[in-house]
Structure 1
């Protein structure tokens, strides 16, 4: 993890992606060799939720989560979404190092992270917005991707409507590379749904860490 400290943050090249209500920043600041090492350390040390915390409620029905998940954060923090209350476990060293890396490149000290492991292309994430009341809407959500490259799809909320309220708006697709960082800046989560669709031909695993700033209670 010391290699993260050796990255020249001043040389990071950000790509800006903007549309109506959409404000994203994307870069690939972590070298492949370092990203592979971090991925393997997470693989060897993280234990994912089981039981009720490995399930999700969709339209009133409970289903197995189509990916593996665990959460870490500062003491006392919980995160509620889709009828589930997720407890924040104490920060493990490799995840803490990634939080410090985000502090170095963006000046934001996040207090919570949701870790999702996609075991292969069958694991996925359905369309949703990260607009839960526990989140501080003034801060961006920072997403770090490690392992298998996957396509991240964003769709404007008006494009999901039916009838006369539906608007024809193109979806936005981003290939999240190994070692990449995606910043979802406000007001993105107010207007845009995002998903990680199934890609059955992909055999590799991906670990994604979405760092969030929670409201102070």
Structure 2
């Protein structure tokens, strides 16, 4: 992971994406050879949750998680979403190196990360907002993508309403590339839902790390 330190962070160019309550910054910052090395190291290092932690509750019913997942963070942190509370395991070296890279890039020291592995295009994530109360909503969620490119789809909460309350606000779609970082700045997760839809024709694996800042209790 020493190669991350060779990246000139002063030369990084961010693409800003803004709409009604939407505030995103996107860049492909990790060169492909370094991104390939990181992906291989994560594949060799990470072990994903099993058992109850590999299930999710949707509309009161429990289902197998349609992807693999694990969480890391500072001591004592847990994260609850969709009726599941996941513990933050101790930081493994390659994930800690990515956290340190984000600190060098944005000056934010994240204390928790949720790692999702999408084994192929059948693995997915449904529409949701990362607006849980234990998150510090003053900080962006930083999403690092490695491996198979996948569509990231965002939909305004008012565009999801039924009937006459529904507003005609276009969906936003971003192709998350190998070695990219997406910053979901506030108030994005209060206003917009996001998802990673099924793409059955895609065969490659993708590992996504969403770094978060938790509220101090």
Q: Same fold (TM over 0.5)?
A: yes
Give matches, 1:66-105, under 5 Å: 66-105=66-105
Aligned to 1:162: 162
1:110-152 residue CA offsets vs partner (Å, 9 max, x unmatched): 0000000000000000000000011001010000000000000
1:135 matched to 2:135? The reply is yes
* Partner Cα distance (1:180, 1:26) in 2: 7
The TM-score, its normalising length taken from structure 1, stands at: 1.00
* Partner Cα distance (1:186, 1:51) in 2: 34
Give matches, 1:23-34, under 5 Å: 23-34=23-34
* Partner Cα distance (1:13, 1:140) in 2: 17
1:31-82 residue CA offsets vs partner (Å, 9 max, x unmatched): 0000010000000010000000000000000000000000000000000000
Aligned to 1:35: 35
Offset of residue 192 of structure 1: 0.0
Aligned to 1:115: 115
Aligned to 2:174: 174
**Aligned-partner SS, 1:89:** coil
The TM-score, its normalising length taken from structure 2, stands at: 1.00
Q: CA RMSD in A?
A: 0.3
**Aligned-partner SS, 2:91:** coil
Show structure 1 runs of 4+ deviating over 2 A.
none
**Aligned-partner SS, 1:66:** coil
Aligned to 1:184: 184
* Partner Cα distance (2:87, 2:204) in 1: 28
**Aligned-partner SS, 1:151:** strand
Aligned to 1:144: 144
Offset of residue 163 of structure 1: 1.1
Aligned to 1:46: 46
Offset of residue 181 of structure 1: 0.1
How many residue pairs are counted as aligned between the two chains?
Answer: 217
Gaps of 5+ in 1: none
Gaps of 5+ in 2: none
**Aligned-partner SS, 1:153:** strand
